[in-house]
Structure 1
Amino acid sequence: MTRKLFTPVTLPTPDGSGLEVGNRAFVAPMCQYSVTARDGVPTDWHLSHLGAFAAGGFGLVVVEATGVEARGRISPLDLGLWDAGQVPAHTRIVDFIHGQRRLAGVQLGHAGGKASTYPMLPGHNDGATVPEEEGGWSTVSASSGPVLEGLDPARELTEEDIAGVVASFVAAARRAEEAGYDVVQIHAAHGYLIHQFLSPLTNRRTDGYGGDLRGRSRLLREVVTAVRQEWPDSKPLGVRVSGTDWVDDGLQISEVAEVLRGLAAEGLVSWVDVSSGGLTDGSTIPAGPGYQVPLAQHVTRTLADAGLGEDTVVVSAVGAVDSASQAETILVTGQAHAVSIGRAALRNPHWAALAAAALRVPRGEIPHAPQFFRAGFGSAS
């Protein structure tokens, strides 16, 4: 029985070849805060964590937010691609994922004013800035001041600084290509630097990087344009966005959809992952099953109305998508073209294989490592 979730999806590429992903269940990037050496180099934990998703049947495995600068890390324990010495460990992960016949992506990000924070792990002071005497550093943002209550004030980036940030994204993309990644995703969500420029909550600039939507989206356009020029034409470029700040005076989904329409129409991005939030305390977010899916649906319809369908840009939905039937419904009703699975994948790295079994995909077509065949996915044995 054919199920939409387990049909291939092609991420378009500038050279027209496209990159086929074996199924529409993607692994969302999820920070592990496990670089204990604080050097940005992936560890055995990352290999085990990410490799399990590939063996468990996900079509595309996306590595957590990876700093394009050391000062761009969310915490001191985050991954990086700001230095050539970090590439070999990334290559090891990519090679394993490829060995499972899956695709590997990496999310490139800069945390801006939300950098240098304690890791979101038990026993840590989550939501506070790590002081310099504990290995923290001064942060930067679209405008001066704290991005969120409880964080140290950030310094406003100059236009020269901004050019340096763009160059850092380009250099990190070059290293991602060296490591063998199939896809790069630019992190423009969750209150981090590019989102800090996009949102009127944190962007109070009066120059060409502030003001109206075109000014506030300028950094995103410059990063995407510069990376697309460096990233091979045979490989897709994606972007993750926060569709809304969930407050009236914040970023709205209509604005985000318009920015994405422009990027897709220019052939700069061919995959969009729609998340939300990151610049408020979260009290206004109506969290619940699939609560962000309407945001992805809005983007999907806006792009389609502009003649930008799945053959031009793939839209994935993310956020409390837990069950196979829920994911399948999102796809067959046209709310999105793919789903990104986060916490449910953390709970069970074999989510994709189990989802296929739940949807009655024939046992021989259920995606998983051959070593797991005796697990009996899709059978009563």
Structure 2
Amino acid sequence: MSQPLLFQPIALRGVTAKNRILISPMCQYSAADGLASDWHLVHLGKFAQGGAGIVMTEAAAVTAEGRITHGDVGLWHDGQIAPLERIATFLRDNGAVPAIQLAHAGRKASMQRPWYGNAALNADDHARGDLPWRVVAPSAIAMDEGWLTPDALDLDELASLREHWRLATLRAVEAGFDLLEVHCAHGYLLHEFLSPLSNRRPDGYGGDRQGRMRYPLEIIETVRAAWPADKPLSVRISSVDGVEGGLELADQIAFAIEAKARGADLIDCSSGGLLGSATAARIPRGYGFQVPYADEIRKSAGIATIAVGLILHPEQAEQILANGQADLIAVGREALFDPNWPLHAQLALTEPGGEVFEAWPQQYGWWLERREPGLRRLGGPALPFRKG
């Protein structure tokens, strides 16, 4: 009996994930001073218990200025290592590859937590103690009316930020993560360098595509040099801006080729986010709406890709892999709805036989296996996710 592609192991450099399911980074806006808490441990830990092959933390800011909100996790000082190390250890001990995303929010920093409005900080936020801070970007262009106008980064600041990325990478190593992702998507700093709509620099870091790619590629080089050679590096991109005059897929194929040449192993293919919320892209959304980007980048750039975006059903995920459109399937908000999505997907895609719950954590499977015969005697399907 053949194993579904979704549940076949995948080797990435010296790291092997037990299956092709990756839990996407999802900001929780619940940290204090950049410190991950018990909330983050439980939030991420249940995805490992739920059977995911790779579990990625939310974006960890490489500087305090690089946070999106006051609630963001960070890795800008050594005191932030231990809480993340606790999480990485739990993920690994429960069968998942621990992964971390590093980021800088650029002009989208100093924002409200989303449940307060997901916009620029205002007087109500100030009253809560969430005060604004200096915002930086490639060019002094505000994201929208009413938003803070960022300061354009000078050459000394670019060099300083490269060092912050390097140090954050070393802290991620010390925390015990096995996969690292550089965030170049969703309108944050490195995406802002890539897009002609947000990068109007007159120096060698702006202008044509090559100039706009220069700084993100320098960050990838910096991170790759600090990250162990036997561990994989992912780069998350917005495959298109979805806005007139913005990035097109051809631009990001060219970027993926250059990222690969600098040691990237995976391209995580999202889209949009340059203007407005990262979760409110101006691109029509249907099931698997970003899969064509992962497919085209995989083929044209010759690099492994991660498909993400409204991939809700096990059969859908399996077909994406069977079609050769991606190498990994990223699940985000569907995992919030069902933290056991990978285990349920395995039931849905495999034929009955043997112990039904053998892939589940022993502490759960022991109980559920013994409940199963009684439920069957009551009639009706005991396992709604089960194939057949």
- Which amino acid in structure 1 is aligned with residue 287 of structure 2? P
Q: Give the fraction of aligned pairs with identical amino acids, expressed as a percent.
A: 39
**Cα distance in 1, alignment partners of residues 40 and 360 from structure 2:** 19
Equivalent residues in 2 for 1:113-128, closer than 5 Å: 113-121=107-115, 124-128=116-120
The equivalent residue for 1:275 is 270
Shift of 1:267: 4.9
**Cα distance in 1, alignment partners of residues 255 and 293 from structure 2:** 14
Q: 1:150 aligns with which of 142, 146, 149?
A: 146
Shift of 1:235: 0.9
Q: Judge conservation of contact 2:107–2:143 (CA < 8 Å) in 1.
A: yes
Name the SS of the counterpart of 2:114 in structure 1. coil
Q: Deviations over 1:273-320 (max 9, x none)?
A: 1000111345731012111111111101112xxxx3xxxx42110111
**Cα distance in 1, alignment partners of residues 209 and 117 from structure 2:** 35
User: Structure 2 unaligned runs (5+)?
Assistant: 373-380, 384-388
**Cα distance in 1, alignment partners of residues 209 and 360 from structure 2:** 44
Q: 1:74 aligns with which of 68, 77, 95?
A: 68
**Cα distance in 2, alignment partners of residues 347 and 144 from structure 1:** 39
Shift of 1:352: 0.4
Which one has the largest radius of gyration?
Answer: 2
Relative to the length of structure 2, the TM-score reads 0.89
Equivalent residues in 2 for 1:220-299, closer than 5 Å: 220-264=216-260, 266-281=261-276, 282=280, 284-299=282-297
Aligned positions, number? 363
Q: Deviations over 1:122-172 (max 9, x none)?
A: xx0222235795322010001002123432111110111111111111100
Residue 323 (structure 2) pairs with residue 333 (structure 1): yes
Residue 188 (structure 2) pairs with residue 192 (structure 1): yes
Rate the CA distance shift 1:97–1:130 in 2: closer, same or farther, 3 A: farther
Equivalent residues in 2 for 1:12-161, closer than 5 Å: 12=13, 18-35=14-31, 37=32, 39-121=33-115, 124-129=116-121, 133=126, 134-161=130-157
Shift of 1:259: 1.1
The equivalent residue for 1:301 is 299
Q: 1:211 aligns with which of 193, 207, 213?
A: 207
Q: CA RMSD in A?
A: 1.9
- Which amino acid in structure 2 is aligned with residue 274 of structure 1? C
Relative to the length of structure 1, the TM-score reads 0.91
Shift of 1:368: 3.1
- Which amino acid in structure 2 is aligned with residue 356 of structure 1? Q
Rate the CA distance shift 1:348–1:258 in 2: closer, same or farther, 3 A: same
**Cα distance in 1, alignment partners of residues 114 and 329 from structure 2:** 24
Please list every run of at least 4 consecutive aligned residues from structure 1 whose deviation after the TM superposition is greater than 6 angstroms.
none
- Which amino acid in structure 2 is aligned with residue 79 of structure 1? V
**Cα distance in 1, alignment partners of residues 229 and 317 from structure 2:** 30
